[in-house]
Amino acid sequence: MKPLHQKIRDDIENQIRSGALKPGDRIPFEHELMAQYSVSRMTVNKALTPLDEGGLIERRKRAGTFVRLPRLDSTVLDIPDIQHEITARGEVYRFELLSYALHKANSDEERELAGSGKVLALTGLHFASAKPLAFERRLINLEAVPQAESVDFTRQSPGHWLLGVVPWTHVENQISAQPAEGQTALHLRLDEGTACLVVDRRTWRGTERITTVRQVFDGGAYRLIASFDQR
């Protein structure tokens, strides 16, 4: 049998991760949870404290307990937000949409993402101070993120938009070095064969896939930084 405080914690965490509770929403007061689960305040507190320390919720005296906004800082390599990183170092950021297509999943890669559902396929370029920095090819699972269909990605990059809108629970990055080729080399204004940093990333919310993206960076102009503290 699971301890009471852990059941309460899991319930709330699931509501947040599933999206039933959105950032900014208020979680019931401790005395409300006491009544709801028929437990003492110490037990409710023991359930909420780890969620607070884990950064999932925010607690304010007199005001109550609220769902936190997803953390967007991350020097750490969880999900690099290119737009954020470029503006953070004082350069001007711009995203240019190269292609846009909405269709049923019809390749292995697309079916891995969306089963037999619909997929949004985009390509685009990230600019830092008018210089092309990264070429990106992205697939978005429209089952998981239906709102994506009505967003204008000529104005904002899909990665930046997704980070703010969809909470993710799991990411996998594959990082490799590859020579610049064909269209990608042209877009990045690099000679064929120039060393590029390639990041292939897949994200999940729970067991549901959200997006698949390949980003190709000019190897000389960009480096990933991953910083870790031992748990």
Partner DNA sequence: TTATGAATTATGTATAGACATATTAGGCGA
Partner DNA sequence: TCGCCTAATATGTCTATACATAATTCATAA
- Provide, rounded to whole angstroms, the least separation between the CB of residue 100 and a copy of itself: 28
Give the 3-state secondary structure of 139-158: EEECCCCHHHHHCCCCCCCH
Q: What are phi and psi of 101, to 5 degrees?
A: -150, 140
Cβ atoms 217, 193 nearer than 8 A = no
Give CA 49 to chain center in angstroms.
25
Report the candidate in 137, 121, 130 with the shortest Cα–Cα distance to residue 189: 130
Question: Which of DNA, a copy of itself, none is residue 41 near (CB under 5 to 8 Å by kind)?
Answer: DNA
- Per-residue CA distances from 212 to 100, 101, 135, 158, 230 (Å): 15, 15, 14, 11, 29
Interaction mask 51-90, DNA, x per CB under 7 A:
-x------xxxxxxx-------------------------
Among 99, 150, 207, 227, binds a copy of itself (CB under 8 A): 227
Question: Which of a copy of itself, DNA, none is residue 207 near (CB under 5 to 8 Å by kind)?
Answer: none
Interaction mask 18-47, DNA, x per CB under 7 A:
-----------xxx------xxxxxx-xx-
Q: In angstroms, how far is the first alpha carbon of the chain from the final one?
A: 27
Interaction mask 148-187, DNA, x per CB under 7 A:
----------------------------------------
Considering only residues 39 to 78 of the shown chain, the ones binding a copy of itself according to CB under 8 A are 50, 53-56, 70-71, 77-78
Stretch that binds a copy of itself, among 19-27, 112-120, 149-157, 173-181 (CB under 8 A): 173-181
- Provide, rounded to whole angstroms, the least separation between the CB of residue 160 and DNA: 30
DSSP letter, residue 120: E
* Of residues 105 and 133, the one with the C-beta less far from a copy of itself: 133
The residue written with tokens 């269709």 in the block is 103
Question: Which of a copy of itself, DNA, none is residue 63 near (CB under 5 to 8 Å by kind)?
Answer: DNA
Sorted by sequence, the CB contacts under 8 Å of residue 55 that are 6+ apart come out as: 68, 71
Question: Which of a copy of itself, DNA, none is residue 29 near (CB under 5 to 8 Å by kind)?
Answer: DNA
Residue 132's beta-bridge partner residues?
127
- Measured between alpha carbons, how far is 59 from 68 in angstroms, rounded to an integer? 9
DSSP letter, residue 27: E
Residue 142's beta-bridge partner residues?
none
| Interface with a copy of itself (CB under 8 A) | 17, 50, 53-56, 70-71, 77-78, 167-179, 193-198, 217, 219-220, 222-231
- Per CB under 7 A, residues contacting DNA are 3-6, 29-31, 38-43, 45-46, 48-49, 52, 59-65
